Structure 1
Amino acid sequence: MDSISKSFEQKEEEEQSLQKTNQSFEEFLSTLPRDYGWTPLFDCYLYQGCWYYPFFLRGVIAAQQHFEAQPTDIFICSVPKSGTTWLKAVAFAIVTREKYSDLSSHPLLSTMPHECIPFLEVDVVGKEHTNQTAEVPLLATHIPYHSLPKSIISGGCKIVYIYRDPKDAFVSLWHFTSKLTPKDATHISLEEALELFCKGVSYYGPYWDHVLSFWKARKEAPQRMLFLAYEEMRKDPLPCVKNLADFMGQPFSVEEENEGVPQKIVDLCSFENLSDLDVNKKGKHRPENAAGIENRAFFRKGMIGDWQSHLTPDMAERLDQITREKFGGTDLPSYVSD
C-alpha cells in the first residue's frame, strides 16, 4: 500500500508541476509581441527576434535551458520548407551506409526522414529517449543561430545549413500550412500570407534574418559550418553529397566510389524516389501531439522556380526587393528573378 500511495503522490506532484509550468509559460507568452499566425489554430509570438508558434517556442526555451550538446553532434539546420526533409534523408544515408549497405532494405524505404533524425525542440527536449546515438550523431533544428543553446555554439558541433530561394520557400510554406488548417476553416490567402512573410511573421521567420544568422556565423567559423543551396543540390546532387560526406567526417573511400555508392545514395534519396514511397504517402508524423501532420504534406513538388506558377510579377518583385536589401554585400545567391 505504501508503494501505491507513493506512486499516486508522485503522479499528483508531477501533474501539479506540469500545471505550474504551463501557467508560467502562458504568463510568459502574454508578455511577448503577438501577431496572426498562418493558420487559425495559433497566433505567432516574437522571441529573440524570431516568430514562433507556442508549441515550438516552448521547446526552443527548454532547449536553451537544458540541452547539452556533444562535440560529435552534427546539426541539420534550416528555415522551414528549404529542403530539410531531403537533407535529412541524405545525411542519414551517408552516416549509416556501412550498417545499411543493402539498399533494398534501407530504413528510408519504410521510415520517413523526419523519423530518422529527431528535431531538437520537439523530439529531444524533455524526452528520456531519442533515436540519436553515437552511431547516428545527427540532430535537426529550425532555431536561428543566435538562439541556439550555448552548448551547440561553444561545443564545436558541426552545422549543415540548407537554404533556398525565398520566393519558393514562401510558396512552399503557404501550401504546407494549408495542410495544417482545419477542413472547416478558411485557409489564409496567398496575399495575406505574403503580407505576413514580408513583415517577417512566418514559421521561424523572418526568413532572411534566419539565413543571415548562420551566414554571419559561418564567416567566423567556416571549418564547422557547411552551407548548401537547395538549387545546387537539385541540379547536381552528386558533388553535394560527396561534399556533405567529407564535411561530416564520413568521406567516401576509393572502393565506395568505384562501387557507385555516392550515386546510389543520390538515387535512394532523390525527391522523386522519396515522394513515391508508400510511407511518405500515408501515415502521420508525430500523430500524438500538436505538431502532428500527414507524411505526404512534406513532399509536394520540390521544384525550382515553382513560385512562377503562384506569384504575380509585383508579388515576386516585392520579395526580390527585400532579398536585395538583406543579402546585398554577402556571397549568398541574389535569387532575384530579373
Structure 2
Amino acid sequence: MNPQRPKLFDFHGVSMTHFFTDNWDKVQNFKAKPDDIVVATYPKAGTTWVSYILDLLYFQQMCEREKSISIVDRVPFLELVYPPMHTGTDNADTLPTSPRIIKTHLPVQFLPKSFLEQNCKIVYVARNAKDNVVSYFHFDCMERIQPEPGDWNSFLQRFKDGQMVFGSWYDHVCGWWEKKQTYSKIHYMFYEDLVEDTERELKNLCSFLGLSTPEEQRKKIVRCVQFDVMKANPMTNLTDDPSLDLSVSQFLRKGKVGDWKNHFTVAQNEQFDEVYKLKMKNTSLHFRTEI
C-alpha cells in the first residue's frame, strides 16, 4: 500500500492532516476507563520506547504476546485513521489487556475529556527541540502518511514556525507541562534522562504507577529496552508497517542525544536559539541538548 502524502491544514489552531482528524468525533467522545494509562508525546520523542517499557511492566509474563504482536497493536494510536486498518479508537476499545495502554500525540487541549474525568494516569515524554526536529525530519522522509518533508533547511523552518503535524513543539511540551501543575496524574519524563539512566527513570515510573516491580524484573526490562535490542526486535522496529519506506531508513534510527550537531549549521543553530529563547521565555520547563 502506497498512500498519497497528505497536506497540512489548520485544525482548531493546530496543523494536522486527515489521517488524525477523520475520526474526530469518536476520538473526542472516547470512553476512558479509570485504569487506562495514556502515553502522550510530541512525535519522535520516545513514544515507542516508553510504550514498550509500560507494556513490559504490565505484561512481560505474556511471552508469546511479546514475540508475536507488534507494539502498535499492543499500544493503539488513539487518533490514527489509516484504512483499511482499524481506527485507533476501535483498537483501543477492543484491547484484551487491562490496564489499557493508549498512545496519543494530541496537544493537551485535544485530549479526550474522559481521561481526565476518569482520573487516568498519563505519562508524558518530552525531547529537546533540536534532537526532536532531526528525528522528525528523518521520520518524515520514510513515513508515507506524513507530508512531504522537503529539504532539511525548509523542514527546520517549518518546525520553528509550528507548521508540523500535531502543531508547534513549543506549544505541545509547554501545554502539557502547564497541565501537570493542575492535574497530579501526569508523570512528565525527559528523553535525555531516559538515555542517561534508564534504570533510574524506570524506578521513578514504577513509583508513579504504584507498582512494586522487583528489582530483578526491572533490570530485565532495562535490558529489553536498550536501543540496539529494540532495533533488532521486529515487534518494536515496525518492520512490517506498510506505511514506512524502509529503503530510506529503519523506524528506529539512532536514539541518541546530541545528534542535532550532525545536522545544524552554525547559522541554523544561532537562528534556532533565538527563536527558542523567545518561545520558551514564559515557562519553567528546561531541556538538555547534550548529556
Give the TM-score taking structure 1 as reference length. Answer: 0.75
- Whose radius of gyration is greater, 1 or 2? 1
Partner Cα distance (1:95, 1:127) in 2? 18
Q: Which amino acid aligns with 1:203?
A: V
Deviation at 1:86, TM superposition (A): 0.5
Kindly indicate whether the alpha-carbon contact (under 8 Å) linking 1:327 and 1:334 is maintained by their aligned counterparts in 2.
no
Deviation at 1:187, TM superposition (A): 5.5
Partner Cα distance (1:57, 1:186) in 2? 18
Name which of 260, 275, 291 aligns with 1:322: 275
Q: Which amino acid aligns with 1:247?
A: F
- Paired residue total: 279
Which stretch shifts more, 266-275 or 313-322?
Answer: 313-322
- Please, which runs of 5 or more residues in structure 2 have no aligned partner? 81-86
Partner Cα distance (2:128, 2:153) in 1? 18
Secondary structure of 2:189's partner? strand
Q: Which amino acid aligns with 1:324?
A: K
Identity across matched positions, percent = 28
- Please, which runs of 5 or more residues in structure 1 have no aligned partner? 1-38
Deviation at 1:328, TM superposition (A): 2.9
Matched, 1:271 2:227: yes
Q: Which amino acid aligns with 1:197?
A: F
Partner Cα distance (2:235, 2:35) in 1? 30
Which residue of the partner structure matches residue 204 of structure 2? Answer: 243
Cα distance 1:293–1:59, how it changes in 2: closer, same or farther (>3 A)? farther
Which residue of the partner structure matches residue 5 of structure 1? Answer: none
Partner Cα distance (1:272, 1:217) in 2? 34
Cα distance 1:236–1:335, how it changes in 2: closer, same or farther (>3 A)? closer
Deviation at 1:146, TM superposition (A): 0.7
Cα distance 1:54–1:282, how it changes in 2: closer, same or farther (>3 A)? closer
Deviation at 1:197, TM superposition (A): 1.0
Partner Cα distance (2:22, 2:231) in 1? 31
Cα distance 1:143–1:128, how it changes in 2: closer, same or farther (>3 A)? closer
Which residue of the partner structure matches residue 120 of structure 1? Answer: 78
Partner Cα distance (2:19, 2:148) in 1? 22
Map 1:156-235 → 2, pairs under 5 A: 156-180=119-143, 188-221=150-183, 223-235=184-196
Matched, 1:87 2:38: no
Cα distance 1:71–1:44, how it changes in 2: closer, same or farther (>3 A)? same
Give the TM-score taking structure 2 as reference length. Answer: 0.86
Partner Cα distance (1:69, 1:281) in 2? 28
Name which of 15, 27, 43 aligns with 2:7: 43
Cα distance 1:137–1:278, how it changes in 2: closer, same or farther (>3 A)? closer
Q: Which amino acid aligns with 1:56?
A: F
Partner Cα distance (2:266, 2:227) in 1? 28
Structure ranking higher on relative contact order (CA contacts 8 Å, 6+ apart): 2
Matched, 1:293 2:238: no
Secondary structure of 1:46's partner? strand
Matched, 1:52 2:16: yes
Structure having the larger proportion of residues in helix: 1
Cα distance 1:279–1:95, how it changes in 2: closer, same or farther (>3 A)? closer
Which residue of the partner structure matches residue 74 of structure 1? Answer: 37
Which residue of the partner structure matches residue 36 of structure 1? Answer: none
Kindly indicate whether the alpha-carbon contact (under 8 Å) linking 2:105 and 2:166 is maintained by their aligned counterparts in 1.
yes
